[in-house]
Amino acid sequence: MKKLFTAIAFLFLSVNINAQTYVSTQPQTRGVLIEHFGGIHCGYCPDGHRIANEIAAANPGKVWVSSIHAGGYAPTSYPNFNTNDGNEIHDSFEISGYPAGLINRTTDNGVSRAVWESYTNEQLAETSECNIGGKVVINRATRTASFEIEFYYTSTSEWNVNQYNVIMLQDSIWGSQSGGSSNPSQYVNGQYCHMHSFRDAITPSHGTDLSPTTAGSYIPIEFTYQIPDVIGSPNGVDVDLNNIHFLVFVTGNSIGQNKASRPILNVTELECVIEGTSDANYARIKKIIKSEKFSCSNEKAITLTVENVGTNAISSLQFESTVNGETPTQHSWTGNITTGQEMNIDIDIELSEGDNDVMVKIAKVNNENFDESVTETISNDGWIDIEINGLEEEITIEVAQDKYGDEISWELYASDNTVITSGGPYNKLNSNGTLLHEHKVNVNAGECIKFVITDSYGDGFCSTYGDGYYRILNANGDVVLDRNGDIGPKAEHILSVVSDELVIENIEVEICEGESYTEYGFDFVDAEAGTYHEQNTYNGVIYDLTLIVNANPVVTIEGNEQINLGESVTLTANGADSYEWSNGETSASITVAPTETTIYSVVGTTNGCEGTTEFTVNVIESISENSDFETKIYPNPTKGELNITAEAMKQISVINAFGQTIFSKDVDSDNVIIDMSQFNDGVYMINITSENGTTVKRVNVVK
């Protein structure tokens, strides 16, 4: 990943500085990097974010912020911003007391947010020894970043060897954050928008050596970097190419092996350009995860995040899924993904209980063959049966909180992901211990439901603060689910409500894309192509439905679009199994000889589903020039008036390139003027009839 890059450096003295492209050779004041240390559980950190943001906003293009999650307040619950590089930088400066900050790494340890502004102003007033300039170009299809960075020393550094550092930051990552309301510009509906989050040190965290550091030294660096799809484990965060940016800074001296270097002599942000592929139809699967949909069967939905990196909008995709090396299954999708955008697409696959190796390949993009695949491990945790008497019964949900009940909440979901009921957060206890909460809820036979319990702090509720737990009991008091509170940030369980009185009926239905199926309480309207498996309880019966939605064929016609009168043309339809033409013929190819411009349509059928298209054959009358009598026609080409001279003319006609008569006039003269400016640019035939016969002349109209 990040360590797999080769930097190529070339040294030029000041006499060769004409080679520089990005970096300035004039002395500059220092840029400033504020490195902010904290985490999601740091209640005062949002106030630090606010202060750092205000300093950067007051000094655009001179001050940048890097928010590093590390230390005791940085859990691994989502969004997990922890990185080895961030931890290494954190430990190098022995950070404590959060939020702490480094201002150009001018101090041995982190300093309070109260002095960040004064430290920043001191640095901004100093002249930097080294200027930095550069550019990074990202290929969206391959996620390869190509760097060109230039360094120029306007004065000699205090150290013979400096270090250059390149880091990647990301904006607009939504997630939890303690104390988020203290920074209201980034806090909306209980969610926090994490900005300038440190994602990766592309160079080693202690920097890469840079020399010589004498005045007039010019050093260009080139390297590439493979941008990961996700950073962080567990609960990693997607790396969104549209919200990343790169900082480069030069530091004065290493403070030890594998330790971050300091102080920072200068910093800048690189110009960032994102380029797409030149391919028209190109898609990539960014990731595969379990869908939010759930079922009480081994057929599960998975969510594919598909990105369009081609130049065409994507209207259709064909997938192949392979589970544990078994026979591939085909899946179709239609919709619209514009260039540079991504979309989550659900497909249904059959999973064995436990972990499964799932490979999904994109086989076609816009009906064009394609081949890109991603493999992930997807687990099927199965489900728990709750047996009830009759068609409806009351169950009991018990939650024994620890001291921090204000962090605990839960929801019970129906199969359509609507909330049936919920509980928590509870009150915080005055001392360590547990408090039991009991909730009653009615469930119906045949339902598939999901119980989700969360701890907002992320450490669960079974610890030194109290041995919490949760249970679900049926109406007879039998325990069907029993877990302690050691859940981390979240736990979820799927439950199937079963009864001896309930009848199960299996149904398999095939329809066409865009059609609807609404029997037995199912609600598929304008269905997209694919295979769907759902259960529904209707009038005391469980209907287990397999719905196959066949894709409508995409039909095309090939043939000549233009013929002369009296000629024939063969039209060939493609894309379906059988065809019916508008002239009644049913073969794939037909031969026609229209006497005028005609539109032919064809309906193609595959698996009972239809697609239609049409084709226009333009017929041009075959007219040749002759010289039966003397005729003059000028000017030719003409921009307007056309003079026609011939003896005893009786009629003048103008015919366009499609053989259509667009102008006709009876005359009785040897001289006629026609205004050709009323017609479009092009070639026209002038049909002249006189007492001596008929002749045709060509004329060009040029505007």
CATH of the domain at 697: 2.60.40.3080
Question: In the listed set 380, 395, 419, which residue is the last one of a domain according to the structure?
Answer: 380
Residues 16 and 72 in one domain: yes
Please tell me whether residues 527 and 603 are part of one structural domain. Answer: no
Say what the pLDDT of residue 255 is: 67
Checking if the pLDDT of 623 tops 50, the result is no
305 has pLDDT over 70: yes
Phi, psi of 678 (to 5 degrees): -80, -10
How many domains does one find in the chain?
6
Neighbours of 175 (CB within 10 A): 18
User: Going by DSSP bridges, is the β-strand pair 693-701/682-690 parallel, antiparallel, or unpaired?
Assistant: antiparallel
Assess whether 255 and 310 both reside in one domain.
no
Q: Is residue 1 part of a domain?
A: no
Is 507 contained in some domain?
Answer: yes
Residue 160 lies in a domain: yes
Query: Are 523 and 596 found together in one domain?
Result: no
Does residue 60 sit in the same domain as residue 112? Answer: yes
Share of the chain above pLDDT 90, in %: 62
Mean pLDDT is lowest, of 83-87, 496-500, 540-544, 640-644, for 540-544
What is the greatest pairwise CA distance in the chain? Answer: 119
Residue 5 clears pLDDT 70, i.e. is over it: no
Q: Which residues contact 623 (CB under 8 A, 6 or more apart)?
A: 655, 659, 685, 687, 696
Is 579 inside a domain boundary? Answer: yes
Same domain flag for 92 and 195? yes
Residue written as token pair 């995860």 = 289
Looking at 620, 640, 661, the residue that finishes a domain is 620
Could you tell me if residue 305 is inside a domain? Answer: yes
The answer to whether residues 416 and 535 belong to one domain is: no
Residue 586 has, within 13 A of its CA and on its CB side, a CA count of: 3
**Confidence grade of residue 423 (pLDDT, cut at 50, 70, 90):** very high
In a domain, 2, yes or no: no
Of 154-168, 246-260, 306-320, 470-484, minimum mean pLDDT range: 246-260
How many other C-beta atoms can be found within 10 angstroms of the C-beta atom of residue 56?
Answer: 18
Whether residue 589 lies inside any domain: the answer is yes
Nearest alpha carbon to residue 315 among 283, 291, 268: 283
pLDDT value, residue 15 = 39
Separation of alpha carbons 431 and 70, rounded Å: 29
C-beta of residue 566 within 8 angstroms of C-beta of residue 585: no
pLDDT digits (tens, 9 = 90+) for 351-379: 999 999 999 999 999 999 999 899 999 99
Q: Are residues 543 and 561 in the same domain?
A: no
Reported as half-sphere exposure (CB side, CA atoms, 13 A), residue 487 has a value of 28
Two structure tokens written together for 438: 């009991």
Question: Residue 16: which pLDDT band, with cuts at 50, 70 and 90?
Answer: very low
Q: What is the pLDDT of residue 13?
A: 44
Q: Quick one: pLDDT at residue 622?
A: 52
Of the pLDDT bands very low, low, confident and very high (cuts 50, 70, 90), residue 621 is low
Q: What is the C-alpha separation between 541 and 539, in angstroms, rounded? A: 6
Looking at the fold, whether 258 and 319 belong to one and the same domain comes out as no
Domain match, 584 and 639 both? no
Q: Are residues 197 and 148 in the same domain?
A: yes
Q: How far apart are CA 553 and CA 399, in angstroms?
A: 54
Is residue 23 in a domain? yes
pLDDT confidence of residue 698: 80
**pLDDT tens readout for residues 175-202:** 999 999 999 999 988 889 999 999 999 9
Q: What is the DSSP letter of 565?
A: T
Amino acid 428: pLDDT: 94
Name the residue range of residue 135's domain.
Answer: 8-275
Answer yes or no: is pLDDT of 658 > 70: no
What is the CATH number for 201? 2.60.40.10
Whether residues 264 and 298 fall in one domain = no
DSSP lists the bridge partners of residue 674 as 642
Q: Which residues pair with 324 in a beta bridge?
A: none
Backbone angles phi, psi at 694, to 5 degrees: -130, 140
Where does the pLDDT of residue 659 fall: very low under 50, low under 70, confident under 90, or very high at 90 and above? low
Q: Which residue's structure tokens are 């199960």?
A: 504
Segment 241-264, tens digit of pLDDT: 989 999 999 999 866 655 678 899
The domain boundary residue, chosen from 352, 380, 408: 380
At 565 the pLDDT is 62
User: What does DSSP say about strands 63-69 and 32-38: parallel, antiparallel, or unpaired?
Assistant: parallel
pLDDT bin (cut points 50, 70, 90) of residue 501 is confident
